[in-house]
Amino acid sequence: MSDCVFVLSSGEVIPVFITTRRGLRNITLRPKVMPRREIHISKPWLASGAGAIKFLESKRRWVERIYAKAPQKESVAPGMCIEILGRCVELVHNPDMRSNGYNRDGSRLIIGGGRDMFERRVRDFIKSEFLRELKEMVRSAPREFWPVRIAIRDTASRWGSCSSSGTMSFSWRLAFAPRDVMRYVVMHELAHKKHMDHSPEFWATVRELYGFGVGRAKRWLVQNGADLHKYL
């Protein structure tokens, strides 16, 4: 439960969470837009809650700009068409079905079960399809680049990561991006298997794995990445 709320000029109500931290010298603000829109305030032990709210209000113009630029969450519902792994798919609800899956030509995603579980089932199906596609993209690269383990995450700021142990993690929201953009992120992380930096040698390896168009895919992600968080 939030400590209070912050009302934007648009009328949207943003929950505010205040945390007291020992050793902190100044009040800090962290407006979050993904996966939920909320504001986190950290304050020193001696600072009051009222003082924290006053500080937040003094930063109103900055906070307003952040939420004005960030995409609003959109609920998914039967009849909508969304892009999944590079193709536009219509969402259909059939309560008589127990399973979920595409129709014969892949133009419709049919979701079974109760209406109250519709969004969750859509999300779970997309995650499973994303993981399947992800593994195929990994296998298209030389075996020496393959990770020890693959994990999918729902991160707000990183599309992929590669640990020194060989585990590679990817945001499942790349399923909403064009396939060449998703493939760019995959090849980017695979390249880290040899170069744990962003040196010229690293980028040369990315281009070797991906082929022509690395810059275009990278620019698309910078310009449109925030929109991949608008669903679910």
pLDDT at 168: 96
CA dist 66 and 195 (Å) reads: 34
Which residue, among 70, 51, 50, 53, has the nearest Cα to 10 in the 3D structure?
70
* Neighbour order of strands in the sheet with 101-102: 81-84, 87-93, 108-111, 101-102
Furthest-apart CA atoms within the chain: distance in Å: 64
pLDDT at 73 over 80: no
Question: What mean pLDDT is predicted for residues 215-230?
Answer: 90
Instruction: For residue 95, count other CB atoms closer than 10 A to its CB.
Output: 12
pLDDT at 103: 94
- Reported confidence tier of residue 157, pLDDT bands at 50, 70, 90: low
The model carries a pTM of 0.76
- Cβ atoms of residues 231 and 130 within 8 Å: no
CA dist 159 and 21 (Å) reads: 30
Domain boundaries, the chain: 4-69, 81-229
- Reported confidence tier of residue 156, pLDDT bands at 50, 70, 90: low
First-to-last alpha carbon distance for the chain, in angstroms, is 21
- Reported confidence tier of residue 176, pLDDT bands at 50, 70, 90: very high
CATH topology of domain 81-229: Zincin-like (3.30.2010)
Query: Can you spell out the DSSP letters for 66-117?
Result: HHHHSPPPB---TT-EEEETTEEEEEEE-TT-SS-EE-TTSSEEEE-S-GGG
List, for residues 106-117, the tens digit of each pLDDT value.
Answer: 999 999 999 999
Question: What mean pLDDT is predicted for residues 170-195?
Answer: 96
Provide the token pair at 231: 């669903």
Question: What mean pLDDT is predicted for residues 134-158?
Answer: 92
